[in-house]
Amino acid sequence: MKNFPSMNFKKNGIAHKPLAVFYVNGDYIVGVYQGSISKLDILIKYRQRENGSWSKKRTPKHIHWTVDLLIKMNYEKEKTKEFLDFLIETWNNMKCDESETTRKKNLNVDSLLKIIDKEAKQYDELNKYGEYSIQFLILLARLLMKQEKNNRNDAYMFKKLLDSLKNYKSIFQIVSTATMRGR
């Protein structure tokens, strides 16, 4: 796209081109690549516009979006809990891709962004708080869920973290789960 930086990258001398690139709110670019854990694994990297320029490519971690949701929850507790319920429902309905054809269909940029824009409308007020937009969070969540399910269909980490956020007991528990230290 015009005026957006490339999402290609090199690692260990090997060029990586994205399977799909998502442009979200003019402030985020999300690239999805072939991962290395399994045949249907995906690797996610993003760039964020900060003070008029683009960040380096980053690999999202659970702790990043978790902190953002904690900030949103501080200002809009009930709406954030509704958002968490939505993410939990999305997790419960998420299936692993059965083939490369299915993965390609599920990574269709136009259709996925239309779904996300529709889903995000009911949580627009949360955009006032935190670092990330709701559209970006939904896209990131869906991709991270897909990544986890494609690598292990009985995975539970993402759901455990969502439950931990919704049933907020302690910051220690949430951070431990988000950083995968609380297993």
Q: What is the 8-class DSSP label of residue 14? A: E
Is residue 181 over pLDDT 60? no
CA–CA distance, 35 with 31 (Å, rounded to integer): 12
pLDDT confidence band for 182 (50 / 70 / 90): very low
**Can you give the C-alpha Rg of the chain in angstroms?**
16
Average pLDDT over residues 67-84: 96
pLDDT of the residue at 84 = 97
Is pLDDT larger for residue 179 or for residue 70? 70
Average pLDDT of the chain, as a whole number: 91
Specify the pLDDT at position 136. 97
User: Which of the two residues, 140 and 180, has the higher pLDDT score?
Assistant: 140
Lowest mean pLDDT among 2-6, 10-14, 113-117, 146-150: 2-6
